[in-house]
Structure 1
Amino acid sequence: MSAGQPSESDKLTRKYDLIEQMQFLFIRVVRGRAIIMPNNNSNNMFVEIIIGNTKGTTRFFDDDENKACLEWDHVFAFEKDKIQDLGVEVLVMYSVDVAPAIFGRVRFTLSDIPWRVPPEPLLAPRWYKLEDENGAQLAKGEIMLSMWIGTQADEYFPQAWSSDASNTSDDAMAYARSKVYITPTLWYLRVNVIQAQNLLLRINADDNKGSDIFVQVVLGSITLRTNFSKNKSANPSWNQDLMFVAQEPFNDTLVLSVEQGTFSEHVSLGSYEIPLKIVDKRLDSSGVADKWYNLNRPEINENQKEVNFASKVNARISLDGAYHVMEEPIEYSSDFRPSAKKLWRQNIGVLELGILKGTGLEPMKNGARTDAYCVAKCGSKWVHTRTAVNSFSPKWNEQYVWEVYEPSTVITIAVFDNNQLDANSRVMGAKDAIMGKIRIRLSTLGHGKVHAHSYPLITLQPSGFKKMGEIHLAVRFSWTLFSTLDICKLYIEPLLPKHHYLFPLSPSQSDTLRNQAATLISQRLGTAEPPLRKEVVHYILDMKSNMWSMRKARANVQRVMNLIGNIIFLWKLLQDISYFKRPKIPCYIDAKLSGAETSSAEDFEEELDPCPTKLEGKALRMRYDRLRYIGRSTQKMVDELATIGEKVQSLSSWRDEIATFLFALFCSVGLLVTIIVPTQVLIFLCITYYIWYPRFRSILPCVAENLFRRMPSKQAFIL
């Protein structure tokens, strides 16, 4: 096995070889004993570590705590390169009234502290007698310490107090440490509302719309409704699917309620609550049995008469674990695994990311300060580096590893300015400022090769785009599949789970469910301590990717023009010089071609409206919103066209070595086939394949389509 490539047993326990090793002095303050003040007139016992101009402080022990045995269990990490003094001083402090005073101290020399390299066992802490200012031992008082010199690979480093954040208050230190977050497992919840029976209608005789009946389904904070039933009797029917995103461990409750009236004003005809834990799970293409649910009687007024309440609703409810719940756009998604872990295939590789440093970062706060940190997301694992306090050239040097299940995925790395280090900012709800992000497609990385580059950080502002600095990364992707045949087979398999082709979701459903998934992930990660903030999650997941943007529209048009520019030029040239049939009738204005026959009066009014417009208020806002909606649809169509062209172009670019090899092999075989097989036979086979009876076709996409969908495009690199 070549160097730098992991074995199967060692794939997730790699050495930190992608990053620069940083040396730290670790001091673990465990506990103190026999520290009793005369007359017991002190409070707030704490330990202070002093090394040169840098000092760190443990938590305080108040009056009502037991001072006979003080348990601090606090770890400090001082960056060795920044230590100017060779002496280390550990002070046991207390405060009388306001001013702190020294109870005792212990002194060390930096050269006497040993090295420790994981996975070596932890150094055993030992008791040290406290001394006075002259170096004489005190009659009482001991402190248990453990000291060693290590690197950021040390298991104590993530939770240690770091000298990088020495100016940070104790309560904000948690917001400056590195953390790893895991998103919850998400499932699609399908609610097929079929019909209802024996409803007690409340018909408004003065308003025919008051007799409309629909079903309202609520899961958590999400509310969906069916259409109005065409049958307005006591036995209406709908047969309509409503889709939700649910999260394990399924502690939520689904509420079905039959409503009468309009969507804005309606009354309940009965409801039923269903715990998600008892809902059937579907992991294959088998159907789910429908059930009748007896509705609970709604509250009635005193004037209403007592009647027999036997209303019920018929529905088919299932948790579909064979889908992959999309929380990112599919073109640069970081995962395609189905929700149910039983359906996961074996991992195919290991991704290692080294977040090295940032250079030339812009000041983000008053006083020309920047407190930068990075967040990287791949699959369900999010990593949050420590915050480099007040630095325009931060050095993180942190390395992380992910299991990879699909090579055509993307890892996203973003940089933010931390606004949670100040207590007042947290109280006021300050958001972390965005400094830019990058995406790296795993299939474009060479096997086992280290790709170390710097990437520009670009962010959008009302005045335009701005470069916020650069981030330096080292990335390595290593296959655990050592068979070329297995790798090629992976490329021709369907990209998405089988359920997406058996029961496809509409584009509008996909967008709605993606928003639900992102909201759930944001809420779940927001409950961690410290929380991964909402603005961070939404920026990583690119929640505004479908919003209309003139800039994106121009970029997508330019992508298309770059692809077809030469073809258009050649076509126009041929069209100008070769008319076989010259038109006899001169060209004229065509109303149908101009779209005038199908336009409404509002369209003409908008077209003839002068610039600047005469409209204002609600009418202008409605017209602008309609224009944005049309622009969004056009932008999406152009984006899809450009993406298809770029995928075709990437087949021969060797950007993805495996895909280009398969394409070259296909072209070679195709050339031999066209030479050997007569043209009439090829035409017959193509026509036969095209008109093949649907029953004999496979629902899953063909091999060529599977390969094509894995091709990279430039969509992932648009701001």
Structure 2
Amino acid sequence: MIKEPSLLGHATIPVSSVEQRLDERQIVASRWFNLEGGMGRHGDGGGGDQPAGGFYSGRLHLRLSLEGGYHVLDEAAHVCSDYRPTAKQLWKPPVGVLELGIVGACGLLPMKTKGGSKGSTDAYCVAKYGKKWVRTRTVTDSFNPRWNEQYTWQVYDPCTVLTVAVFDNWRMFAGDGDDRQDYRIGKVRVRVSTLESNRAYTASYPLLVLLRSGLKKMGEVQLAVRFSSPAHLPDTWATYTSPLLPRMHYLRPIGVAQQEALRGAAVRTVAAWLARSEPPLGPEVVRYMLDADAHTWSVRRAKANWFRIMGVLAWAVGLERWLDGVRRWRSPSTTILVHVLYLVLVWYPELVVPTASLYVFLIGVWYYRFRPRAPAGMDARLSQADTVEGDELEEEFDAVPAPDVLRLRYERLRTLAGRVQRVMGDIAAQGERLQALVSWRDPRASRIFVGVCLAVAVALYAMPPKMVAVATGFYYLRHPMFRDPMPAAAVNFFRRLPSLSDRML
């Protein structure tokens, strides 16, 4: 027979009495806490000789501390506006001041119906940077509200993001017992590091919202932003070369699961705090501003991230195409110049690093002409919001669909996951083939590889390295008439090496 667990006692510890720890070198002393309120010997809550404060149930030995050296994220990591530790004693001096002028909005769509069939919008704006939230007044019944309000923040790290969003006020007109939420109209993010110092930017940004019916432009918001910073090059160098997160994140890192749990708790705490402000901000506003649902699964986001990866790798693809054109002698003059440059770099290897640095410098100077003239707003094309399909939107917005719809989405997810699984298997197979070169899983292949390595070592010891490099480069750049269209022998040899794929169930 299983007995019900009984309470041995509890200890009440005021948070104000807990010591705060600032770094890993600070030792927090352990303390004993009395347990009270437990059941007595006969299960009646205590005997006749119990003390006045209740039945004594023993003591608990604990080491408690408030960790002030960490920063608990309440925003998504990629749009964070504050990296400072919790303890104010560890804050560094500010590097500048961020000024935001919320001028107004134009072309807003009607959000609600008043007086029968008349559409109206009661818009207000919310801005968040660091721990400071601001809210404009509500302009009632206007599609072109003008706020003309200005706010400032201290900037401690320029690699942070300012978030501005526009909402339609439903709570102000809600009746008793009506729990209508404020409707989001759109959001804009501005990364402070993209702003030049002491320059005012005034621009209109589109307000885009992704709905079940697709992407919808709700209007535009006009903002004026300026980042005032007296920092010179040494100060900027020190800022950009310092760690992004506080020291404790690197010495005593927090696990990913614990970070997500702490972020969820921080979002709930901020929502409860702003709900008590005047006028209050609802939890839907806080969650939208903090991107609380940024890590939920979405086919659209998966596609967007895939195309982002392809965009990052586009330069490598372009370089490979250029090299292929050089190898195929599509422009004989370019190929001859590459031969000459390669010969100079091989004969004078000390020029490789400075030449590469000079080349990158020239690329940076060339692209200076195409630098952004103003901070960019939300990009619908980058987010794949302009080409998203209706079924994908239904999946993104409908958390608990019908069973038949759920099965269809599950099958589609299995198809996508199968493609990802196949790519992961191919990558793993390439690494296992590299390991198979010397692991003698294929004794014939390992025997050939070891023999070739010995021959290469003897040849390289006997021949001057510059001549070897010149011969290798010229062989790679040889004319197509001397080139076999079939794959190279080394590629064929590598593809024949065994992997562990044949051992998988």
User: Where does residue 298 of structure 1 map in the other structure?
Assistant: 38
User: Where does residue 289 of structure 2 map in the other structure?
Assistant: 540
Q: Give the drift of 1:304.
A: 7.1
Tell whether 2:253 aligns with 1:501: no
Cα contact 1:459–1:468 (8 A) shared by 2: yes
Cα distance in structure 1, aligned partners of 2:101 and 2:280: 23
Aligned match of 2:163 in 405, 412, 420?
412
Q: Give the drift of 1:499.
A: 1.2
Tell whether 2:240 aligns with 1:491: yes
Tell whether 2:17 aligns with 1:204: no
Cα contact 1:375–1:384 (8 A) shared by 2: yes
The 5-angstrom pairing of residues 18-97 of structure 1 reads none
The 5-angstrom pairing of residues 82-161 of structure 1 reads none
Amino acid of the structure 1 residue aligned with 2:138: T
Query: Residues 371 and 564 from structure 1, CA distance in 2 versus in 1: closer, same or farther, beyond 3 angstroms?
Result: same
Cα distance in structure 2, aligned partners of 1:571 and 1:272: 67
User: Where does residue 715 of structure 1 map in the other structure?
Assistant: none
Cα distance in structure 1, aligned partners of 2:80 and 2:111: 30
Aligned match of 1:531 in 277, 280, 283?
280
Cα contact 2:8–2:57 (8 A) shared by 1: no
Amino acid of the structure 2 residue aligned with 1:338: P
User: What SS class does the counterpart of residue 274 from structure 1 fall into?
Assistant: coil
Query: Residues 443 and 305 from structure 1, CA distance in 2 versus in 1: closer, same or farther, beyond 3 angstroms?
Result: closer
User: Where does residue 442 of structure 1 map in the other structure?
Assistant: 192
Q: Give the drift of 1:475.
A: 0.4
Cα contact 1:417–1:435 (8 A) shared by 2: yes
Cα contact 1:291–1:316 (8 A) shared by 2: yes
User: Where does residue 322 of structure 1 map in the other structure?
Assistant: 69
Tell whether 2:124 aligns with 1:377: no
Q: Give the drift of 1:508.
A: 0.8
Report the TM-score, using the length of structure 1 for normalisation.
0.42
Tell whether 2:190 aligns with 1:451: no
User: Where does residue 214 of structure 1 map in the other structure?
Assistant: none
Cα distance in structure 1, aligned partners of 2:210 and 2:122: 20
Cα distance in structure 2, aligned partners of 1:310 and 1:322: 35
Cα distance in structure 2, aligned partners of 1:301 and 1:370: 67
The 5-angstrom pairing of residues 521-600 of structure 1 reads 521-565=270-314, 567=316
Cα distance in structure 1, aligned partners of 2:38 and 2:45: 13
Cα distance in structure 1, aligned partners of 2:104 and 2:7: 59
User: What SS class does the counterpart of residue 244 from structure 2 fall into?
Assistant: coil
Tell whether 2:29 aligns with 1:289: yes
Cα contact 2:122–2:139 (8 A) shared by 1: yes
Query: Residues 348 and 573 from structure 1, CA distance in 2 versus in 1: closer, same or farther, beyond 3 angstroms?
Result: closer
Query: Residues 305 and 489 from structure 1, CA distance in 2 versus in 1: closer, same or farther, beyond 3 angstroms?
Result: closer
Q: Give the drift of 1:299.
A: 4.2
Amino acid of the structure 1 residue aligned with 2:14: P
Cα distance in structure 1, aligned partners of 2:71 and 2:271: 18
Deviation digits for residues 665-698 of structure 1, max 9, x if unmatched?
Answer: xxxxxxxxxxxxxx9xxxxxxxxxxxxxxxxxxx
Query: Residues 331 and 423 from structure 1, CA distance in 2 versus in 1: closer, same or farther, beyond 3 angstroms?
Result: closer
Q: Give the drift of 1:293.
A: 2.8
Q: Give the drift of 1:465.
A: 1.6
Q: Give the drift of 1:288.
A: 2.1
Cα distance in structure 2, aligned partners of 1:442 and 1:408: 6
User: What SS class does the counterpart of residue 271 from structure 1 fall into?
Assistant: coil
Amino acid of the structure 1 residue aligned with 2:81: S
Cα distance in structure 2, aligned partners of 1:572 and 1:310: 77
Q: Give the drift of 1:401.
A: 1.0
Q: Give the drift of 1:384.
A: 0.6
Cα distance in structure 2, aligned partners of 1:494 and 1:360: 43
Q: Whose strand proportion is higher, 1 or 2?
A: 1
User: Where does residue 278 of structure 1 map in the other structure?
Assistant: 17
User: What SS class does the counterpart of residue 270 from structure 1 fall into?
Assistant: coil
Cα contact 2:102–2:222 (8 A) shared by 1: yes
Cα contact 1:388–1:394 (8 A) shared by 2: yes
Tell whether 2:224 aligns with 1:474: yes
Cα contact 1:350–1:480 (8 A) shared by 2: no
User: What SS class does the counterpart of residue 317 from structure 1 fall into?
Assistant: coil
Cα distance in structure 1, aligned partners of 2:43 and 2:27: 45
Query: Residues 316 and 303 from structure 1, CA distance in 2 versus in 1: closer, same or farther, beyond 3 angstroms?
Result: closer
Q: Give the drift of 1:267.
A: 5.1
Cα distance in structure 1, aligned partners of 2:35 and 2:315: 65
Query: Residues 298 and 310 from structure 1, CA distance in 2 versus in 1: closer, same or farther, beyond 3 angstroms?
Result: closer
Cα distance in structure 1, aligned partners of 2:252 and 2:185: 40
Amino acid of the structure 2 residue aligned with 1:394: P
CA RMSD of aligned residues (A): 3.8
Cα distance in structure 1, aligned partners of 2:168 and 2:275: 18
Overall identity of the aligned pairs, in % = 44
Cα contact 2:101–2:149 (8 A) shared by 1: yes
Cα distance in structure 2, aligned partners of 1:351 and 1:560: 32
User: What SS class does the counterpart of residue 293 from structure 1 fall into?
Assistant: strand
User: Where does residue 130 of structure 1 map in the other structure?
Assistant: none
Amino acid of the structure 1 residue aligned with 2:179: G
Cα contact 2:38–2:57 (8 A) shared by 1: no
Query: Residues 306 and 336 from structure 1, CA distance in 2 versus in 1: closer, same or farther, beyond 3 angstroms?
Result: closer
User: Where does residue 101 of structure 2 map in the other structure?
Assistant: 354
Query: Residues 569 and 476 from structure 1, CA distance in 2 versus in 1: closer, same or farther, beyond 3 angstroms?
Result: closer
Q: Give the drift of 1:338.
A: 1.3
Q: Give the drift of 1:323.
A: 1.2
User: Where does residue 370 of structure 2 map in the other structure?
Assistant: none
Please list every run of 5 or more consecutive structure 2 residues that lacks an aligned counterpart in the other structure.
48-54, 328-401, 425-464, 466-505
Aligned match of 1:391 in 128, 142, 146?
142
Q: Give the drift of 1:297.
A: 4.1
Q: Give the drift of 1:552.
A: 0.4
Query: Residues 573 and 380 from structure 1, CA distance in 2 versus in 1: closer, same or farther, beyond 3 angstroms?
Result: closer
Q: Give the drift of 1:571.
A: 6.9
Cα distance in structure 2, aligned partners of 1:324 and 1:280: 17
State the aligned residue count.
334
User: Where does residue 436 of structure 2 map in the other structure?
Assistant: none
Please list every run of 5 or more consecutive structure 1 residues that lacks an aligned counterpart in the other structure.
1-202, 206-259, 261-265, 579-615, 639-678, 680-719
Q: Which has the higher contact order (CA 8 A, sep 6+)?
A: 2
User: Where does residue 215 of structure 2 map in the other structure?
Assistant: 465
Q: Give the drift of 1:315.
A: 2.6
User: What SS class does the counterpart of residue 397 from structure 1 fall into?
Assistant: strand
Q: Whose helix proportion is higher, 1 or 2?
A: 2
Deviation digits for residues 487-544 of structure 1, max 9, x if unmatched?
Answer: 2111111111111111111111111101101101110111122212211111111110
